[in-house]
Chains A and B, each alone.
Chain A
């Protein structure tokens, strides 16, 4: 009996010693990204009992993959509501995996939005409205993903692309430009600075035109000139009423072709 009591005391002492230790280690792992935040109990509504238990039991990544595969199947079935719900579940299970956020946004802002826009069974006004709603849904998904991975150039780039290609409001060109500038900050890829300048040039704000002009002129001075850059500069010179002597000469500079016509704003 005495030994059993000793065993119980050792067990309790062990627990008391390791509790603060585990609290510290868990916090450290979460800070360094090795552990994800605990699962929200609200997820239990979306996951089966088994799925919830498995995701608690260290198989969270596997459950996320299964949920992703289910979303893929629903995409093939053109069931957009289900795709959204399953991709939401997937991103909640693995919020630090940028690919899931990127794909979830792509499904909504491109696939679902276009499917509704070209669905002739729906009234024209409703189609446009559904298109806008799904583009906005894609933007919201990316913004939420960026809360978890603010340093993801990929998500900023997709956000810029959606603002640039999927919205019709010229005021949103500023948002596209800001997203591309974030990509440039993270990747140091100059192409994104040029995209940002191009987007600024499309806004109705003369202050932004000036900013675009300064950025594009800097590229021009460095002799990093492409056909689109030259075109933007020429348009901005007119918009900003730049005096003729200060305008750039057109001939004499070899013009490089756009690096990849299938990416970014030219997609």
Chain B
């Protein structure tokens, strides 16, 4: 008898999804990213060392965010229509594979791809940042030596100063926050694609909800603390309930400036991500289970 839930089946579907997406050559973005990072790493040498490192981090993390959001929306939006077009979906579902396993396989496939992409980009970015940091430090120390002020105290101070703006473990937690955000967007797009009539519709609506989600905090705060009529309150509540809060993942802005991500803060973010993934997966299942294919 076939088990009603099988992790190995989900894994098989996830790896097949990764292969399918890799064949679409969407990872070409990685190459573009590397060019952007290297260019940002060595641009504007006239700025002060601290600002040079900040620029590199800002540009790299901006590119990481864009990559993850674009892949999350576009790759996920393409999956179901492509399977229908290729008739792969019929082959899979004619076997004893429950529909929710199919959805989970697709979701995990995209998440694996985004996770691997972010990991590769994080390694590339860390390498360039480390090189830049070492270069900046060497330059500053030699400037101190020329002025005859290279005391051990001054060099230690310089090390601490550059180190704060350089490569830290904390920055990698920022990359994880970007992954969490992409995971929520992936689950959201999968949910939309379960009732959407076309790929374009899925992409447009997903981007719209993602953008609105970045302002959800403002709507929510208006609902909780704002002054206004009943109609405005109800509308704001409805909007806040329907859109996900994307701003809660935007800690990267302050992580770049050296704010530390505590274990509690990280745990909260992981908890919110899990809530979204479970919630959106349940809704996706309810929409997909009766969908006429």
Contact = CB atoms under 8 A, between A and B. Distances in A.
Given A35-B254, A57-B214, A59-B62, A99 B50 contact: yes
Interface stretch (B9-17, B87-95, B278-286): B278-286
A3 B51 CA distance: 54
Interface string A26-66: 10110011111010000000000000010011111110110
B87 to A, nearest CB: 24
Contacts, number: 140
Interface string B195-223: 10000000000000011001101101101
Which of B50, B55, B268, B286 is packed against the most chain A CB atoms within 10 Å?
B286
Contacts of A17: 275
A3 B287 contact: yes
Nearest to B287: A7
Given A3-B286, A7-B286, A7-B287, A38 B257 contact: no
Contacts of B287: 3-4, 7
A17 B278 CA distance: 13
Contacts of B135: none
A70 to B, nearest CB: 12
A3 B289 contact: yes
B123 interface: no
Interface string B41-82: 000100100110011011101100100000000000000000
B220 A19 contact: yes
Contact of B58 (A19, A25, A61): A61
A23 interface: yes
B240 A61 contact: no
B83 interface: no
B194 to A, nearest CB: 9
B61 A21 contact: no
A12 B279 CA distance: 10
B251 A29 contact: yes
Contact of A58 (B54, B253, B280): B253
Interface string A4-25: 1011001110111111011101
> Interface extent on B, as a size class?
35 or more
Interface in A216-267: 260
B248 interface: yes
Chain A contact residues: helix, strand, loop or mixed: helix
A99 B161 CA distance: 12
B58 A33 contact: no
B245 A60 contact: no
Interface in B18-57: 44, 47, 50-51, 54-55, 57
A32 B170 CA distance: 15
B275 A10 contact: no
A126 interface: no
A121 B63 CA distance: 47
A94 interface: yes
Contacts of A134: none
Contacts of A61: 57-58, 61-62, 252-253, 256-257
A6 B286 CA distance: 7
Interface string B244-260: 01111111111111010
Contacts of A6: 286
Nearest to A34: B251
Contact of B245 (A26, A59, A99): A26
Contacts of B247: 26, 35, 38, 56, 58
Contacts of B252: 58, 61
Contacts of A53: 211
Contacts of A110: none
A21 B279 contact: no
B211 A57 contact: yes
A4 B286 contact: yes
A72 to B, nearest CB: 7
Contacts of A58: 65, 181, 214, 246-247, 249-250, 252-253
Contacts of A22: 217, 220, 245, 248, 272
A36 B211 contact: no
B116 interface: no
Contacts of A34: 251, 254-255, 259, 261, 265
14 contacts: A3-B289, A3-B290, A11-B283, A12-B241, A14-B275, A18-B245, A23-B224, A25-B269, A34-B251, A34-B259, A38-B247, A53-B211, A61-B253, A72-B47
Given A15-B242, A23-B224, A29-B265, 13 more contacts: A6-B286, A10-B282, A14-B275, A15-B240, A19-B220, A26-B247, A33-B254, A38-B221, A61-B253, A94-B253, A94-B257, A97-B257, A99-B50
Interface of B: 44, 47, 50-51, 54-55, 57-59, 61-62, 65, 149, 181, 195, 210-211, 214-215, 217-218, 220-221, 223-224, 240-242, 245-257, 259, 261-262, 264-265, 268-269, 272, 275-276, 279-280, 282-283, 286-287, 289-290
Interface of A: 3-4, 6-7, 10-12, 14-19, 21-23, 25-26, 28-29, 32-36, 38, 53, 56-62, 64-65, 68-69, 72, 94, 96-97, 99, 260
